[in-house]
Amino acid sequence: MTREQEDLLAVLAEVRKRLLIPARDVSDADAGRRTTVSELTLGGLIRHLATGERLWLEILRTADGSLPEGMLDTGQYAMSETLSHWLSAYAEAAAATDEYVASLPSLDIEVQLPATPWSPPEPRFWSARRILLHLIHETAQHAGHADLIRESLDGANSTAQLA
């Protein structure tokens, strides 16, 4: 594994950790509860990121532009199952991503992105690096959402719980 792969996976691990802090000691009922005007919930965010990381890994592995099943499913933002189910699914997706990224000879490999309703008509390509950076961005953005949702839920502050 290259130093760049190590560094980017370390950043991704850190933002994953920050995402999960707000889910500590939360019941299934609270994980599915809306606490702001947004439809987002803690459980829904973790479900979305578990699903998203699994789907982006499939895109990275296939690299052929095929659209993974469930990629356009907006239901992935809703809490379903139990929080422990989605925490486990997220841990599995994260481990699979880390293992695959670590196995790549280079982050320069090009991956054709799937066509979506909002895509330009011509095929688009991202490097494995860009996909990894996208996962970091997406996880960090939703970690902030999770922090706000949790603070609105019961006043818990993630910054105070970093350990």
Report the predicted TM-score, pTM, of the whole model to 2 decimal places: 0.93
Q: What are the C-alpha distances in Å from 18 to residues 15, 21, 45, 106, 136?
A: 5, 5, 13, 27, 12
Percent of the chain with pLDDT over 90: 82
Residues 6+ apart with CB under 8 A from 99: none
Q: To which H or E segment does residue 127 belong? A: strand 125-127
Write the pLDDT tens digit of every residue in 95-135: 999 999 999 999 999 999 999 888 898 999 999 999 999 99
Dihedral of CA 7/20/91/64: which sign?
A: negative
Q: Please report the pLDDT score of residue 75 as a whole number.
A: 85
Q: Please report the pLDDT score of residue 163 as a whole number.
A: 55
Cα separation, 11 vs 104, in Å, equals: 18
